Structure 1
Amino acid sequence: MSIAFLNGTFLPLEEARISPLDRGFLFADGVYEVIPYYNGISFGIEEHLSRLQRSLAEIRIPLSQTIEEWASLLNDLVAKNGGGDLSVYLQITRGAYETRNHAFPPEIKPTIFAMVSPIASPLAADATKAKGISAITAPDIRWSRCDIKAISLLPNILLKQQAADAGAQETILVRDNFITECTSANVFAVKNGTIYTPVNDAQNLGGITRDIIIGLALEHQMPFQEIAMTVEFLEDADEIWVSSSTREVVPVIALNGRVVGDGKPGMLWKVMAEHYQTNKKRIFTR
């Protein structure tokens, strides 16, 4: 039985309860973060919590907690769950009020909830054994403020299920013929030895792992560009990757039923996977 955190109390996850009048339940009025821990040590937590603070500010949920206070809370939660390789899910909603009203209620207290889940070993952890995944493309039906990490994920769920129905593992989203991101990941393409990723704007979420990969590419003098990426550019890529905090960097070996490259994880992906693991070890041994 795992331990969760709810509004100031650590308790068994099965005992956590919220009001049916909570605006997260009624309106999906809230934001969240997912933060990986390896051997009980956080990875990229400051960047995740900075993004959380930005999301809270954008939807006007006022909270006084600092990044250091959030980190202390989550570290305690991980310790109470025995450490190890875990992802921490942290969600803040506007809270519960006595009536259902679209406008912000006065003097409402936000609901703060956190829980942990085991992390499966990412494909990048052993590039020699990675098989890659399949993906499809589909119209991006989400709202226009995807830069906010909001809990209103119904479009993402429907798009993810569209991939599953097609026998794929991920959906890459398209808006006005330009690639934005995936249902729960960012996108990279490799062409003629250069790594490309879509430009960061309000149409996609600024990924923490995306930023790490960009930093590693620059650190190791791997050619890199942010571009307005068309569907045709992606379809013609030599390699395609998707990235997220718990999956790290994953090779896509088939897109819309067509083989990407030679149908195997590409050479530049293997190089980046090794850099990513080395970077993790470097951080944890400081």
Structure 2
Amino acid sequence: MSRTVYLNGTYLPEEEAQVSIFDRGFVMGDAVYEVTCVLDGKLTEFDGHMARLQRSLKELEMVCDITRDEWLEIHRKLIELNGVEEGGVYLQVTRGNAGDRDFHYPPAGTPPTVVLYTQSKPGLVEDPKADKGIKVISVPDLRWHRRDIKTVQLLYASMAKMAAEKEGKDDAWFVEDGYVTEGSSNNCYIVKGGKIITRDLSHDILHGITRGSVLRMAREAQMVIEERPFTIAEAQSADEAFYTSASAFVMPIVEVDGVALGDGKPGKVAKRLREIYIEESRNSAI
């Protein structure tokens, strides 16, 4: 049974969904996206994702007039039609079809292309990787310098993930000017002496929705947080490490560039934050 997807106001089978070969998202990567997690058939962190979507659209001078309540209705409808209990809803807005390939933006009034679809991923909460932790490598950060905008320009992130896979590892951390920026699709943290250290917000990293919530929960739990860049060497000497993302929540990291962290097992800070985040996300889902 195929999924029902949403395309420009219509719900239809995925096999029937078609986008022009001249669409800016296809020929220019001129598009933004969000992925909202689904737990127990409900949306987590929805308003945070919608606020970031509006920011991304504004930064790229892209117009999409769909309201927050309309987005919510579309998300809920797709979850219902596809029977998703655990997984996510992918949303993408492109600058639309200009009628031909051109570096200039399309004329004002060109409608955007709006696509949404669900991804069913049973086992997000009971992910076995969270019990054993993951291993990461470092790679040079060669991406553009507006990483705070959530665009579909993900080729280098894919290359980083493949580089990690070729080395038998799970993921990659980007390093620029000697400091870790972020993971291939997540925000990064180390823990040293009970202090959580993570890079401060700027154009250099994505302003993670999960990041913001996890840091808030950590402060409420009286944990100490220091927002600053850190090096690979610092990470390798840390007591533990973890990353956050919408679909992985809080994921413990047990090895960085071949060096085991602490006792080589998920640390207590990452474990506790994962528990708190999942519980609160379920309680606040809509």
Distance 1:116 1:60, change over 3 A: same
Q: Tell me the equivalent position of 1:230.
A: 231
Question: SS of 1:14's equivalent?
Answer: helix
Q: Tell me the equivalent position of 1:119.
A: 121
Structure-1 separation of matches of 2:32 and 2:218? 30
AA paired with 2:172? T
Cα deviation code 1:16-37 (max 9, x no counterpart): 1111111111010000000011
CA contact (8 A) 1:34 1:245 kept: yes
CA contact (8 A) 1:119 1:246 kept: no
Structure-2 separation of matches of 1:18 and 1:181? 32
Distance 1:140 1:153, change over 3 A: same
Q: 5+ unaligned residues in a row in structure 1: which ranges?
A: none
CA shift for structure 1 position 126:
7.3
CA contact (8 A) 1:35 1:45 kept: yes
AA paired with 2:117? M
Question: SS of 2:160's equivalent?
Answer: helix
AA paired with 1:77? L
Q: Tell me the equivalent position of 2:281.
A: 280
Q: What is the identity percentage for the equivalent residue pairs of Structure 1 and Structure 2?
A: 36
Matched, 1:199 2:212: no
CA shift for structure 1 position 243:
1.0
Structure-2 separation of matches of 1:198 and 1:42? 27
Structure-2 separation of matches of 1:119 and 1:216? 25
AA paired with 2:254? I
Cα deviation code 1:148-176 (max 9, x no counterpart): 00001111111111111111111011110
Q: Tell me the equivalent position of 1:242.
A: 243
AA paired with 1:209? T
CA shift for structure 1 position 127:
8.7
Question: SS of 1:89's equivalent?
Answer: strand
CA contact (8 A) 2:39 2:282 kept: no
CA shift for structure 1 position 40:
1.5
TM-score with structure 1 setting the length: 0.95
CA shift for structure 1 position 129:
7.2
TM-score with structure 2 setting the length: 0.95
Matched, 1:133 2:111: no
Structure-2 separation of matches of 1:191 and 1:68? 42
Question: SS of 1:130's equivalent?
Answer: helix
Structure-2 separation of matches of 1:238 and 1:254? 11
Structure-1 separation of matches of 2:122 and 2:82? 16
CA contact (8 A) 1:198 1:227 kept: yes
CA shift for structure 1 position 271:
1.6
Distance 1:129 1:152, change over 3 A: closer
Mean CA deviation greater in 229-238 or 141-150: 229-238
AA paired with 1:207? G
Spell out structure 1 runs of 4+ moving beyond 6 A.
Answer: 126-129
AA paired with 1:40? G
CA shift for structure 1 position 203:
0.6
Q: Tell me the equivalent position of 1:38.
A: 39
CA shift for structure 1 position 221:
0.5
How many pairs does the alignment contain? 284
Question: SS of 2:136's equivalent?
Answer: strand
Structure-2 separation of matches of 1:236 and 1:90? 39
CA RMSD in angstroms, aligned pairs only? 1.7
Distance 1:173 1:120, change over 3 A: farther
Question: SS of 1:114's equivalent?
Answer: strand
AA paired with 2:110? I
Q: Tell me the equivalent position of 1:21.
A: 22
CA shift for structure 1 position 76:
1.3
Cα deviation code 1:78-132 (max 9, x no counterpart): 111124112100001011122211011213211000111112423x647997011
CA shift for structure 1 position 282:
2.9
Distance 1:129 1:165, change over 3 A: closer
AA paired with 2:218? A
CA contact (8 A) 1:159 1:171 kept: yes
Question: SS of 1:65's equivalent?
Answer: coil
Q: 5+ unaligned residues in a row in structure 2: which ranges?
A: none
